[in-house]
Amino acid sequence: MCGVFAISSLDINDAGERVVDGLKKLEYRGYDSWGVATSSEMIKEVGKISASNATFIPDTKAIGHSRWATHGGVTQENSHPHRYKKVTLVHNGIFENYLSEKNRLLEKGETFLSETDSEVIAHLIQEQLDLSHDTKSAIQNVAKAITGRFSIVVMIEGLDEIFVARRGSPLIIGRGKDEYVNTTFIASDIPAFLEYTNIVNYIDDEEMAIIKNSDVNFYNLCSGEKIEKRNIEVSWKEEVADKGKYNHFMIKEIFDQKQSLTSAVNHTDEEIAEFISALQSGNGVYMVACGTAHKASIAAEYYFSQIAGRKINVVPASEMPAFERFINKETVLFAVSQSGETADILEILDLGKKRGAKILSITNVESSSIARISDNHLPIRAGKEKAVASTKATTSQMALLLLLAYADDNRLNEGRLLLQDLASNVNDLLNPRYEEYIKSVAETLNDCSNIFIIGRNSLFPMALESAIKIMEVSYIHAQGFAAGEMKHGPIALIEKGTPCIVLGCDSETISNAMELKSRGATIIGVAHVNNVLFDQWLKIPSAGTAISIASVLPIQILSYYLATLRGLDPDMPRNLAKSVTVK
Ligand code: M6R
């Protein structure tokens, strides 16, 4: 994770301040501490960069970093940049074998200021420079010694150039234009520099670049050979992150679902047909995703099974290595990701690519690494999702996956009609009265320390998703179960007043809810009709096979209020980041 941003310019002399501004747009990648270095200064702080008004001595060059801690606690020392003698760098990723190198350097008598893996890279580059004075080959040699995914941005005292290298973690060059024609921007994601330019070069894996003002040269990281890169014009305008009338992005994005469900399935018949033909071309589909996207994928497992009679194997991307023997040129690897940058997924897709598997994906970011590595990609078009907790992207993923299941069974139009209906019902449902009612339910739960959620069929993954949503923003322990599973153990935890959210009102789920109620549980039902068993009822529209999408909406609102009633910031929960670019 972590956001990196750097500027090399001939004529901009407030590079430090501009790097701070750019990093504010990358804060979703990590927000526990930050730092910026220019040629003459280095500022490092614990806390969110959004609160910073840091100023710098005028300079045309700066590198910066917004951190999500991996190695070492959240301290000023551990924040980036890291400096050793002439080398100053920022790093995104994980240097897996850093400890053996650190121990070797310690034995040589070198000392370290931080607990990070990143500082060791600065020492290794300096060690190489002591041998050859050639920064390009120093970085190449250090890259050979490092295992793991990384992107690094390096300044060397006395040199005008900025040196960058990538293996796995994203790095994009923005080529300045108009008044910024003498300036180059380097970032882990485009929003950092989109106010200056939309002309980019993507640095691919095992590549490096040397940047001086507008002069940018690309090289193969291993051989050192020069590479020519095409300038790519990205079509997106800078999406202004605006909360509008809302207090937080999370609630704004929940209400964005009044429109986003429609955009999610607004692909042409041809685009869908091409994607489906790729899906059908293999012999075994593995759907890989993480967190909430993984729960949306489990819902898709039900959709494809019940609508199209197709078995999809859904595996959390981080667990997929255990099944890697099944990845071959017959396999379809289908990635589901909001950001399109999740490291656990990229790792598997890289492996799939090497073995000739077909790579399919749906993401919310069309220029993302996952979208670009894919043979077939469909955007979910949810619009920028800023809050760490995924809401509108989740339902957009599910809507598109549901549509694909219908298309897989040659019933694309039936799917479209169902989802149009759902979109219009959701549009009616999300109104201030509904929100107020759910807030009042949240008030009754404010003191609880455990919430259980049950669901059956495609509502089982929604029980899992509801638990993630509640936990990540309110810090209340929540756990989702298949409705029929409670009686096999977890029911032991139910006592008088334990809140249990019951998704659905089919007779079997109601029987399971009855078992909980008989042991004292307070039942919060999420269904299109009320039931005598429900102590509180969160109404949803009747949605047929799209019920999983409808059911998650009230839980998103409930989670939001569980967080805000406790005085928490639901947009940036503790310990999390929006984009998880480390394994
Ligand atoms: O960007 P991705 O969809 O690949 O991210 C996957 C998870 O990190 C993400 O869904 C995470 O679980 C969210 N914070 C959940 O709200």
Query: Is 229 assigned a catalytic role?
Result: no
Best mutation site among 339, 474, 572 for ligand 1, i.e. most ligand atoms within 8 A of its Cβ?
339
- The total of structural domains in the chain comes to 2
pLDDT digits (tens, 9 = 90+) for 118-154: 999 999 999 999 998 899 999 999 999 999 889 999 9
Is the residue at 582 inside a domain? Answer: no
pLDDT on residue 580: 81
Closest CA to 189 of 401, 403, 25: 25
- Do 280 and 146 share a structural domain? no
Specify the DSSP element, H or E, that contains 62.
Answer: strand 61-67
CA 55 to chain centre: 31
- Do 287 and 207 share a structural domain? no
- Do 364 and 307 share a structural domain? yes
Closest C-alpha to ligand 1, atom 9? 291
- Do 111 and 85 share a structural domain? yes
What's the CATH code of the domain at 316?
3.40.50.10490
- Do 293 and 387 share a structural domain? yes
Share of the chain above pLDDT 90, in %: 87
pLDDT on residue 225: 96
- Do 455 and 315 share a structural domain? yes
Is the residue at 328 inside a domain? Answer: yes
Provide the pLDDT confidence category of residue 32 given band limits of 50, 70 and 90. confident
Burial of 485 (0-12, 13-18, 19+ CB in 10 A): middle
pLDDT on residue 237: 61
Is the residue at 121 inside a domain? Answer: yes
pLDDT digits (tens, 9 = 90+) for 231-282: 998 876 655 557 889 999 999 999 999 999 999 999 999 999 999 999 999 8
pLDDT on residue 149: 85
Closest CA to 54 of 27, 77, 36: 36
Is the residue at 317 inside a domain? Answer: yes
Is the residue at 73 inside a domain? Answer: yes
What is the arithmetic mean of pLDDT over 378-390? 94
- Do 526 and 404 share a structural domain? yes
- Do 446 and 406 share a structural domain? yes
pLDDT digits (tens, 9 = 90+) for 314-331: 999 999 999 999 999 999
Half-sphere CA count of 334, side-chain side, radius 13 A: 29
Best mutation site among 580, 582, 583 for ligand 1, i.e. most ligand atoms within 8 A of its Cβ?
580
Is the residue at 545 inside a domain? Answer: yes
Is the residue at 578 inside a domain? Answer: no
Q: Which domain holds residue 37?
A: 3-233
Q: Where are the beta strands (DSSP E) in 68-111?
A: 82-84, 87-93
Provide the pLDDT confidence category of residue 1 given band limits of 50, 70 and 90. low
What is the arithmetic mean of pLDDT over 464-490? 97
- Do 366 and 503 share a structural domain? yes
- The pLDDT of residue 42 is above 70: yes
Q: Is the CB of 339 under 6 A from ligand 1?
A: yes
How much is the CA Rg of the chain, to the nearest whole Å? 25
What's the CATH code of the domain at 47?
3.60.20.10
- Do 39 and 177 share a structural domain? yes
What is the arithmetic mean of pLDDT over 571-575? 91
pLDDT digits (tens, 9 = 90+) for 158-214: 999 999 999 988 899 999 999 999 999 999 988 899 999 999 999 998 999 999 999
Q: Which residues pair with 135 in a beta bridge?
A: none
pLDDT on residue 170: 86
Is the residue at 443 inside a domain? Answer: yes
Q: Is the CB of 390 under 6 A from ligand 1?
A: yes
- Do 262 and 391 share a structural domain? yes
What does DSSP assign to residue 236? P
Bridge-based pairing of strands 207-212 and 215-220 is: antiparallel
- Do 307 and 178 share a structural domain? no
Provide the pLDDT confidence category of residue 435 given band limits of 50, 70 and 90. very high
Q: Is the CB of 573 under 6 A from ligand 1?
A: no
pLDDT on residue 496: 96
pLDDT digits (tens, 9 = 90+) for 451-461: 999 999 999 99
Domain boundary (233, 263, 291) is at 233
pLDDT on residue 48: 86
pLDDT on residue 409: 98
Ligand 1 closest atom vs CA 338: 3
Query: Is 2 assigned a catalytic role?
Result: yes
Residue 4 and residue 161: Cα distance in Å, rounded?
Answer: 17
